[in-house]
Chains A and B, each alone.
Chain A
């Protein structure tokens, strides 16, 4: 039995991040989704709507343009308010040493726990340098994130439901 996964990327080459402003990433593409379509909707591209209660493996990787010295962060918040640090459930930061530090990236890996169905989560980024932008590096997207549902009970029923939905579409 596989694990439900969601893979999101920001495929546009560059994404401006104003210095000192906590900024949500508006994902552009879903690369893989073996859960319900509601997990991510392009109509609300910053929001990830967790389908099930329980544990999820979360990973994110963002790449910065050549930047001025200062703090660079990537994090996951519960809810849509990326300015509320009290709702952060994962966070990784890096201080750029100089203004020639190219290929800087933040990487986050964390197991999180949702407490109810359809909780909304948002990935945010922050720059304290005078220049800040996410940018594709080495042909990688400027940002990518993934969620893997690690629970078991509801996982099985959802897979069955998905198959039923597929069949109903055909028949």
Chain B
């Protein structure tokens, strides 16, 4: 029995800086598994996941945020979130129907965002990106958080894809 085509891309290194309220595409560093075409993910364009087939995919998404304590007041704590965005663009309107969002209400330490979902890709070659976002502004209105990985813990970011349609 042949397995289903699958891709696992990860960010193995820490310190991917995410500015306050700025949708930021995650830069992946490696594909630890790819049983589809090599074009599914390439280190040359490390933010882009190029869907090889039209149809349904199982998607698992993960981010590990840093452990810096929020500086805003408890009455207005920050959010940390991830999206899976279509069309090689991460502006408003590009978070497509059925794509995942996770959003954590983080008053103190590290946060792990995760989504498991099914998406429908309409056109082969569509580019998707994992997008990180937070709104942890300090008194000056800007703050940088980081995606991080630590010894013995999961990667800073991961995307797993399993194609569920007919190849």
Residue A2 CB within 8 A of the other chain:
yes
Contact partners of A57 in chain B: CB under 8 A = 58
Question: Is the CB–CB distance between A97 and B97 below 8 Å?
Answer: no
Q: How far is the CA of A31 from the CA of B101 in the complex (A)?
A: 18
Q: How far is the CA of A32 from the CA of B164 in the complex (A)?
A: 12
Question: Is the CB–CB distance between A9 and B83 below 8 Å?
Answer: no
Residue A98 CB within 8 A of the other chain:
yes
Partner of A105, one of B94, B103, B163: B103
Contact flags B47-69 to A (C-beta < 8 A → 1, else 0): 00000000110100000000000
Contact partners of A158 in chain B: CB under 8 A = none
Residue B154 CB within 8 A of the other chain:
no
Stretch at the interface among B13-21, B27-35, B73-81, B136-144: B73-81
Q: How many residues of A contact B (CB 8 A)?
A: 33
Q: How far is the CA of A48 from the CA of B93 in the complex (A)?
A: 29
Contact flags A98-109 to B (C-beta < 8 A → 1, else 0): 101111110101
Q: How far is the CA of A102 from the CA of B79 in the complex (A)?
A: 9
Question: Is the CB–CB distance between B98 and A105 below 8 Å?
Answer: no
Question: Is the CB–CB distance between B116 and A139 below 8 Å?
Answer: no
Known A-B contacts A5-B56, A148-B118; the reply to A138 vs B95 at CB < 8 A is yes
Question: Is the CB–CB distance between A31 and B105 below 8 Å?
Answer: no
* A140: min CB distance to chain B, Å: 5
Contact flags A102-130 to B (C-beta < 8 A → 1, else 0): 11110101000000000000000000000
Question: Is the CB–CB distance between B116 and A109 below 8 Å?
Answer: yes
Known A-B contacts A9-B97, A32-B56, A140-B97; the reply to A3 vs B164 at CB < 8 A is yes
On chain B, which size bracket covers the interface?
A: 35 or more
Contact partners of A101 in chain B: CB under 8 A = 105
Question: Is the CB–CB distance between B117 and A105 below 8 Å?
Answer: no
Question: Is the CB–CB distance between B103 and A141 below 8 Å?
Answer: no
Q: Indicate the member of B76, B96, B98 with the most A CB atoms within 10 Å.
A: B98
Contact partners of B96 in chain A: CB under 8 A = 139
Residue A23 CB within 8 A of the other chain:
no
* B109: min CB distance to chain A, Å: 15
* A51: min CB distance to chain B, Å: 16
Known A-B contacts A103-B79, A146-B117; the reply to A5 vs B101 at CB < 8 A is no
Residue B88 CB within 8 A of the other chain:
no
Q: Indicate the member of B95, B100, B118 with the most A CB atoms within 10 Å.
A: B118
Contact flags A54-91 to B (C-beta < 8 A → 1, else 0): 00010101010000000000000000000000000000
Contact partners of B95 in chain A: CB under 8 A = 138-140
Residue B71 CB within 8 A of the other chain:
no
Known A-B contacts A7-B118, A31-B97; the reply to A148 vs B76 at CB < 8 A is no
13 contacts between A and B (CB under 8 A): A5-B165, A7-B56, A7-B120, A31-B120, A32-B118, A59-B117, A61-B100, A63-B101, A97-B107, A107-B117, A138-B81, A139-B94, A139-B95
